[in-house]
Amino acid sequence: MCLNLDFLSCYITGYLGFRYETRLMTNEPNAESKKKAGESNPPQPAPEVLVQKEGSLKQGKESGEPEQPTETRNTPAQPPIIPPIVVQVSQPEGPAGDRIKWTDIAIVILTAGIVLTAIIQACIFTKQWKEMHAAGEQTDKLIRTANEIKSALIVANQQNLDAVNRTLKASQENADASNKQSYKALDTTIESFHLDQRPWAYMSQYVLSGEPEENKEFTIKIGMFNSGKTPAFDVTPKSQVFNYNVEPPETDFTKAPEAKSRGLVPPGITEISFTTDPMKIVGPSLSAYNNGINSIYVHARIDYVDAFKMPHWTTICIFHIHGRPLSEFQYCERGNDADSYTKRPN
């Protein structure tokens, strides 16, 4: 049985063993052994091979012996008896050591060397296999360790990421709160600056052109003044005159006709004014005014912007009673107001 041997070693060993056994069985002596055997032992007759063959029947037929009568039909035929074959083989001549050649010994030694080499190779291969198996187990262990490290790193990275996100969120909230406070402080500063530097345009010095008469128009001159530190730009006056016995409702100037003039009112200038549209009072309305029942009411509004393009406005409600000086006007209970914008309205 060959374990871990190469094909050539197995083939040579099997061939030589077969040849050696065949020679021993056939007892083929070599020339030298024949010579020695002739000197020491006299020639012996060759072994007789006694073979008794199935020929007795044939010889009987040839010698003219009568055949045995056949049995009746009722008697079963007996099979022929075959005698055993006996083979006698002579024993090998001379001692067995005299029949072994030196080449056979060399072949046996060579075969033993091949077997020893195969055993050594098997040992080496077994050691290599064990080393490779151990290396594979070590590699698997390293892979498992690497996977564990990878999992631990993933968990650690996720924890670090969560911590960073929380820190960033808190920092963002703090920054937003700080920015909000900063913007609020800045807005307050800007509002204070605008409030200090804005123009304050208002209306004063009202003068009636004359007392109303039948089929005669009259107007009211309204002066404008800027008490602020910067000019009022794009000043737009609007007005509405009434003849009522009570204070009229406030006028919606957003629906009033577009103003006919626009101008600029510098700070500290008092010679700027505008005039209302002409009006007539006739019939019973004129009588009611002359009798002190009705009064002349004026609703007026001026719109303007400052140097920062912030819009502003001022409104008045005044009335004049018949018989009073033409420059004497009184303020109504409602309709006198001004904006306090320090930032652009929505």
What digits encode the pLDDT tens for the residues 78-122?
A: 555 555 554 444 445 545 445 567 888 888 899 999 999 999 999
DSSP bridge pairs for 226: 201
Which among 345, 344, 346, 339 has a CA at the least distance from the CA of 199? 339
The DSSP bridge pattern shows strands 272-275 and 295-305 to be unpaired
Q: How far apart are the first and last CA of the chain?
A: 106
pLDDT tens column, 142-175: 999 999 999 999 999 999 999 999 999 999 999 9
CA distances from residue 143 to 130, 133, 149, 209 in whole angstroms, order as listed: 20, 15, 10, 107
Q: State mean pLDDT over 329-336.
A: 94
- Amino acid, single-letter form, for residue 111: T
Question: Is residue 39's pLDDT more than 50?
Answer: no
- Max mean pLDDT among 31-40, 74-83, 257-266 falls in 257-266
Q: Please give the pLDDT value at position 299.
A: 96
Tokens 């005044």 -> residue:
318
Tokens 């107001």 -> residue:
337
CA distance 69 to 279: 183
Report if pTM > 0.75.
no
Q: State mean pLDDT over 3-19.
A: 51
Which has more confidence, 137 or 261?
Answer: 137
Q: Where are the domains of the chain?
A: 201-338
Question: Is residue 343's pLDDT more than 90?
Answer: no
- Amino acid, single-letter form, for residue 158: Q
Reported in sequence order, the residue ranges of 187-262 that DSSP labels E, i.e. its strands, are: 201-208, 220-226, 232-244
Q: State mean pLDDT over 239-247.
A: 93
**Residue 147 is encoded by which pair of tokens?**
């996977």
Question: Is residue 246's pLDDT more than 60?
Answer: yes
CA distances from residue 45 to 17, 90, 179 in whole angstroms, order as listed: 31, 10, 135
Question: Is residue 217's pLDDT more than 90?
Answer: yes
CA distance 242 to 276: 11
**3-class secondary structure, 254:** helix
Q: Where are the alpha helices (DSSP H) in the chain?
A: 7-26, 31-40, 56-63, 102-197, 283-290
Handedness of CA 13, 19, 25, 30 (dihedral sign): negative
Please check whether the domain covering 201-338 is classified as CATH 1.10.287: no
DSSP string, 94-114: S-GGGG--HHHHHHHHHHHHH
Do 216 and 290 touch, CB atoms closer than 8 A?
no
CA distance 320 to 218: 13
Q: Please give the pLDDT value at position 74.
A: 47
Q: Please give the pLDDT value at position 162.
A: 93
